[in-house]
Amino acid sequence: MTRPAATARPAGPGGAAGPGGVAGRLAPLAAALFGGSLPVRLRAWDGSEAGPAGTPVLVLRSRQALRRLLWHPGELGLAQAYVAGELDVDGDLTEGLRAVWHAAAGRASRSKRWAALPPARWGQAAVTAVALGLPGPRPPAPASQARVSGRPHSRGRDQAVIARHYDLPPAFYRLILDESMAYSCGWWGAPGAAPGLAGAQRAKLDLIAGKLGLRPGSTLLDVGCGWGSLALHAAREYGAQVTAVTLAGEQAAFVRDRAAAAGLGGLVRVRQQDYRELTGGEYDAVAAVEMGEHVGAGQYPAFGALLAARARPGGRVLVQQMSRAPGTPGGGAFIEAYITPDMHMRPVGETIGLLEAAGLELRGAEAMREHYPPTIRAWLGRLERNRAAVTALIGPELARVWRLYLTGAALAFEGGRMGVDQILLARPAR
């Protein structure tokens, strides 16, 4: 289908951008960045519009949004503007982001795309920037942007990074997660599973328990236990004795309370500590569910060695971990700045190699990438339905961070830029 030609609605009274208004002046420059056509419609702060009809509308609420792009071209500038409320999408946010990402897919990379403006357009871009009053001091970063210091993956910095993401009120996570409080990829379409998010999460927990061979009396070390979904499920449904470890204070207190309320206090012991502080003891099973991404590249060999050391000879280790496709960044500027600074992802084969080098034997690996988009979209749907309550709990700016985070993450898994895998290993019995 041929896309309608770009049209512009002039600025209203007081508009100083000339014929076509602000949107009309921006449209040719924006189209050039995407190879000649705009993937979405533009609406500027003066009321002018330009671009194809029938698409989501990118709303520029103030020139500050464009000023951010001058200082931070690409993903970070766009994210800052959205988080600050200076840029929005009128229509479906997912469809808006998908349209932009698909249009940009033919460019060399996000970092190079902004340098791909044809030379003939640079003079026009400079004139337009001055005419719209864009040159100016660097806008301050939104308050929700991460401000961490210290050596990456030092214990103090890791504590700060984990706290800013996971020490939000548990009531917030209750609004977006299912009743199990599982904050990891579900397993959709399992035979006999209940429908919806809760069924997918229970199926995932049963899948993990089955791979680890849990039964009454089994000992399980849950490294990075989150809000306790696996720990409580293993104790309640399989009779396992669980040691649950988390660095986040809110999570540790929450899991203790959940275990006590469920009458599982005798089976679930919770430790608030860094994984590097785990010493002594061997377990029948060890699990690390979407925790290894936080470890860092340099620390991962020691992390693998720790998992191996905490498993008894013949014991099983299950790592569920996000991965990235070769040649793709995995996280990106927005994730680094707003969600989990210092996150590191690698192709799954490299992770398996590191775990094998730590002395573990591979028993199987299962890709779960296609299960993450429906999981994240279920979380996003709950956030949208509970947006007023979410905003009251964490504030409007952080609510926008989470809306953008979940929308972008679902698209990253959908498009194959990121994956998630379950890797089952065993410590040799010899």
Q: Could you report the per-residue pLDDT of 90-105, keeping only the tens digit for each?
A: 988 998 888 887 776 5
Res 253: pLDDT: 95
Q: What is the H or E stretch that residue 112 is in?
A: helix 110-113
The CATH superfamily holding the domain 155-426 is Vaccinia Virus protein VP39 (3.40.50.150)
pLDDT digits (tens, 9 = 90+) for 312-344: 999 999 999 999 988 777 677 888 888 888 888
- pLDDT for res 146: 83
> Where in 188-325 does DSSP place strands (E)?
219-223, 241-246, 268-272, 283-289, 311-324
Reported as a single tens digit per residue, the pLDDT across 241-298 is 999 999 999 999 999 999 999 999 999 999 999 999 998 889 999 999 999 999 989 9
Q: What percent of the chain is predicted at pLDDT more than 70?
A: 90
pLDDT of residue 211: 98
pTM of whole model > 0.85? yes
User: What Å distances lie between residue 340 and 77, 252, 291, 294, CA to CA?
Assistant: 18, 19, 12, 8
Q: Count the residues in the chain.
A: 430
Reported as a pLDDT band with limits 50, 70 and 90, residue 18 is low
Numbered ranges of CATH 3.40.50.150 in the chain: 155-426
Q: Cβ contacts of residue 137 below 8 Å, gap of 6+?
A: none
Rounded CA-CA distance 392/397 in Å is: 11
Report the share of the chain in percent with pLDDT over 90.
Answer: 64
Mean pLDDT of 347-353: 97
Lowest mean per-residue pLDDT among 86-100, 168-182, 196-210, 290-304: 86-100
Confidence check: pLDDT of 7 > 60:
no
